[in-house]
Chain A
Amino acid sequence: MIRALIGALVIGLAAPALGIYLVQRRLSLIGDGIGHVALTGVGVGLLLHHSPVISAVIVSAIGAVGIELIRQRGRTSGDLALALLFYGGIAGGVVLVGLSDDSSNANLMQYLFGSLITTSPQDVVVIAVLGVAVLTAMTVFRPALFAVCNDEEYAKVSGLPVRTLNLLMAVTTAVTVTIAMRTVGLLLVSALMVVPVAAAQQVTRGFRSTMALGMVIGLGAAGAGVAVSAEIDTAPGATTVILALAVFVAIALGSGVVRALRRRAHHPREVEPPDVVLQG
């Protein structure tokens, strides 16, 4: 339980810290796609009797770099290429897991939807180390990554190593997807990257504050998700995502009410004058 909690909290912090750049780039679903590719890595690991986490990191990093190269080319067929890569990834994963010795459905589900309870001490160490690496990269390079995601051409003219930063982001996405696979599962990874950011940006004014609030929401949802799921016996990954979505809805409703009240305070009972006044 403690191990599960540590793993979840690390992911809760790291996923939105990376996700904010993906949201800014309008690549909110990229984490989902890389999750599909990571499943092939899991299959390779199980087949070769190696750690599925490490093989998933490697395969999804290759996939992420491939996607980034397609994006840089800016071909119109990029969207189609992504689709081919994603479905190839998930189909390859299912086939490879099926070929492995441990081909039970439970095993597959564990990677698709997360399985915190079976997290081993080694897994926690891997999650913590990689999670801290992701967090460090995303915070240290925040100004540069912000510049690249906000205006890539300007960043190029500024002489920033745009290609390297893009590859860094691709590899970091792959790493985050893989470590989050144990917590929320490959099919829900993207939610933890995107939903806390989406919730935060409704009330924040700047990029840094959005990142900070997104990380707080991610951390809270992950911690609460583990606790609630243990209490009512539900899947921790799905519970975490539901809680993050609940925060999103609560903030959306709350900020809507505040805005409405403020508007009423500014314009008390203002009646629009009629366009035409009929005389007599």
Chain B
Amino acid sequence: MTAADPKGVVDVRHLAVGYDGREILHDISLSTQPGEVVAILGANGSGKSTLIRTILGLVPAARGEIDLFGTAQRTFRDWARVGYVPQRLGAGSGVPATVGEVVASGRLARRGIFRPSGTADKAAVVAALQDVGLLDRIGDPVSTLSGGQQQRTLIARALAGHPDLLVLDEPTAGVDAASQEAFAAALGRFAAGGGTILLVAHELGPLRPLIDRAVVVHEGRIAYEGAPPEPAGHHADPDHDHVHPHAALEKAGICEWAPTDRMTNRMTAN
């Protein structure tokens, strides 16, 4: 993070977003400071993923303003400073691709599309894979990796571009415990190096100690902002088997983050 940033890394003011005439986010204002780790929490359908997708420009905003590193998002061009970690590997599969090839995509923002991959690019790919503990799989097809390892490949791809801001969409959803730990360690090193992190999560799990501030989105509005809510009940147990037989019927909200045992079983699976 450069000290020259006059404002926050991400500044969202009075943002509203809608699909097909239905408004999903209403009047969201949010700011992250350099070096801060912010978790956006919320139930399914609360609009938390839509919020970061709008910040990244993948979903158009209906109203409001978004600034990235002090520049209006619409005119922002320095995308190499942003590392995006989607929820899962893109749909494009059919053709095999190695872990190294996927991670090398993360260098394109830095070097542009005309310059061929150089030694610096290769070194960055190796370093990023080492960071997430997958260097030994560099030549393996990504399709042979477990879900957690694929997720670590995606964070390596983002880290390979040496971003100042990491944006992660549900990074630990459906990820095995070993991968979650490796994931948390890599994010911890990124944050310790002064990087800013904005992540959407359903459960914080091993990421909890990293979080400086939590923002809970409920029904398209920010319902809570402050210290990350304490884990409650057996859901906090890493070995807890998260089963939700009535997930679709439950209308979960901010309560799921409150530390009462009675409420914890209202958490919805993702």
A interface residues (Cβ-Cβ under 8 A, vs B)? 20, 23-26, 140-141, 143-144, 146-147, 149-161, 165, 197, 201, 204-208, 210
A165: which B residues are within 8 A, CB to CB? 113
Question: Contacts A157-B56, A205-B139 known; A143 to B102 CB distance under 8 Å?
Answer: no
Across the interface, A201 reaches (CB within 8 A) one of B86, B96, B114, B116, namely: B96
Whole-angstrom distance between the Cβ of B144 and the nearest chain A Cβ: 9
Q: Would A159 and B109 count as touching, CB distance under 8 A?
A: yes
Q: Would A154 and B105 count as touching, CB distance under 8 A?
A: yes
Q: Would B141 and A206 count as touching, CB distance under 8 A?
A: yes
Across the interface, B77 reaches (CB within 8 A) one of A151, A159, A197, namely: A159
B77: which A residues are within 8 A, CB to CB? 159
- Residue of B at shortest CB range from A153? B58
- The CA-CA distance from A153 to B109 in the complex, in Å, is 13
Across the interface, A144 reaches (CB within 8 A) one of B79, B96, B106, B113, namely: B113
Is B42 an interface residue, CB under 8 A from the partner? no
- Residue of B at shortest CB range from A152? B90
Question: Contacts A205-B141, A207-B98, A207-B101 known; A25 to B92 CB distance under 8 Å?
Answer: yes
- The CA-CA distance from A24 to B143 in the complex, in Å, is 13
Residues of B in contact, count (CB < 8 Å): 38
Digitize B75-92: 1 where CB-to-A-CB distance is under 8 Å, 0 elsewhere.
001111010101001111
B56, B79, B92, B109 interface centre (most CB from chain A within 10 Å):
B92
Is B104 an interface residue, CB under 8 A from the partner? yes
A23: which B residues are within 8 A, CB to CB? 94-95
Across the interface, A157 reaches (CB within 8 A) one of B58, B89, B101, B139, namely: B58
In order of increasing CB-CB distance, the 5 nearest A-B pairs are: A159-B79, A151-B90, A206-B98, A144-B113, A158-B109
Q: Would A206 and B90 count as touching, CB distance under 8 A?
A: no
Q: Would B80 and A159 count as touching, CB distance under 8 A?
A: yes
Across the interface, A204 reaches (CB within 8 A) one of B86, B96, B109, namely: B96
Q: Would B105 and A151 count as touching, CB distance under 8 A?
A: yes
- The CA-CA distance from A231 to B211 in the complex, in Å, is 72
Question: Contacts A154-B86, A206-B96 known; A146 to B109 CB distance under 8 Å?
Answer: no
Question: Contacts A157-B58, A157-B79, A159-B79 known; A144 to B108 CB distance under 8 Å?
Answer: yes
B interface residues (Cβ-Cβ under 8 A, vs A)? 56-58, 77-80, 82, 84, 86, 89-98, 100-102, 104-106, 108-109, 113-114, 116-117, 139-141, 157, 161, 167
- The CA-CA distance from A156 to B82 in the complex, in Å, is 11
Whole-angstrom distance between the Cβ of A95 and the nearest chain B Cβ: 36
Q: Would A143 and B108 count as touching, CB distance under 8 A?
A: yes
Question: Contacts A144-B113, A159-B80 known; A151 to B95 CB distance under 8 Å?
Answer: no
- The CA-CA distance from A208 to B102 in the complex, in Å, is 11
B157: which A residues are within 8 A, CB to CB? 154
Q: Would A206 and B105 count as touching, CB distance under 8 A?
A: no
- Residue of B at shortest CB range from A149? B92
B58, B90, B95, B157 interface centre (most CB from chain A within 10 Å):
B95
Across the interface, B57 reaches (CB within 8 A) one of A24, A151, A156, namely: A156
Q: Would B113 and A143 count as touching, CB distance under 8 A?
A: yes
- Residue of B at shortest CB range from A200? B95
A24, A26, A153, A157 interface centre (most CB from chain B within 10 Å):
A157
- The CA-CA distance from A149 to B141 in the complex, in Å, is 16
Whole-angstrom distance between the Cβ of A200 and the nearest chain B Cβ: 9
Across the interface, A24 reaches (CB within 8 A) one of B84, B94, B108, B139, namely: B94
A150: which B residues are within 8 A, CB to CB? 90, 92, 97, 102, 105
Whole-angstrom distance between the Cβ of B109 and the nearest chain A Cβ: 4
- The CA-CA distance from A160 to B105 in the complex, in Å, is 11
Across the interface, B108 reaches (CB within 8 A) one of A25, A160, A204, A207, namely: A160
- Residue of A at shortest CB range from B76? A159
